[in-house]
């Protein structure tokens, strides 16, 4: 499965293309992996609550059928859309999501950054005080903030139809992060959002896309 780099493309036509490909799939349809970035857009998942969109301003809000809540896509972010038949792999959705997250973790590790998972909150997070620390998270005290000291660097939102996947993940590389302050990212008020640039890792979009694409292709191989 060779990653296909689409470049900067509008969100709505890309979403519709994913839906059309998935609807037309047969057991013989090859899997695909699209890598792209989008002009500024907020996307709402099926569980999305309007109250989590605080002040969109001139940025459009698009309702989608992926899981999760609201997130932001914009220039400087690598968006990956795996279009896979999970039956070929014998995977349930939990295994698929784990592999998506693992691809991000391994991509970050290539830059010396340690990515972390937070139970019950899909995506990948980094320590704000020391993104390069390899120490494991100790977890919050009972009743504490599970995101204390963490910033979200990658978001996940997937859809599975007839065992076939679309939507995917977004890795923040070098963005204008201000639009994240106008939403409750992924439904969490006050959740800090970071990118590679702000944690001290300058890298071109093309390089980050290539690294993430190679990790995804390896981890999602049939």
3-state helix, strand, coil in the chain (%, to 5): 25, 30, 45
Tokens 């932001």 belong to residue: 72
Paired tokens of 66? 């992926």
Distance CA 95, CA 199 (A): 29
Asked if residues 97 and 206 have their Cβ atoms less than 8 Å apart, the reply is: no
Which string of DSSP letters, residue by residue, matches 128-159? SS-TT--PPP--PPTTS-TTTTEEEEEEEEEE
Residues contacting residue 221 through CB under 8 Å, at least 6 positions apart: 1
Distance CA 50, CA 53 (A): 6
List active site positions: 186
């Amino acid at each position: 499965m060779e990653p296909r780099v689409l470049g900067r493309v509008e969100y709505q036509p890309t979403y519709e293309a994913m839906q059309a490909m998935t609807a037309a799939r047969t057991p013989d349809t090859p899997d695909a992996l699209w890598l792209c970035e989008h002009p500024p857009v907020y996307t709402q998942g099926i569980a999305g609550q309007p109250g989590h969109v605080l002040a969109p301003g001139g940025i459009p809000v698009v309702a989608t059928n992926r899981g999760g809540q609201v997130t932001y896509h914009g220039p400087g972010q690598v968006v990956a859309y795996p279009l896979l038949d999970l039956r070929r792999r014998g995977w349930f959705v939990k295994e698929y999501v784990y592999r998506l997250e693992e691809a991000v973790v391994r991509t970050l590790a290539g830059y010396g950054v340690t990515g972390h998972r937070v139970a019950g909150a899909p995506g990948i997070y980094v320590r704000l005080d020391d993104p390069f620390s390899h120490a494991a998270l100790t977890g919050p005290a009972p009743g504490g903030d599970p995101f204390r000291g963490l910033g979200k660097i990658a978001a996940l939102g997937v859809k599975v139809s007839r065992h076939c996947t679309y939507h995917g993940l977004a890795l923040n590389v070098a963005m204008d992060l201000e639009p994240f302050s106008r939403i409750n990212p992924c439904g969490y008020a006050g959740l800090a959002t970071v990118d590679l640039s702000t944690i001290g890792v300058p890298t071109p979009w093309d390089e980050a896309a290539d690294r993430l694409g190679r990790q995804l292709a390896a981890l999602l191989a049939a």
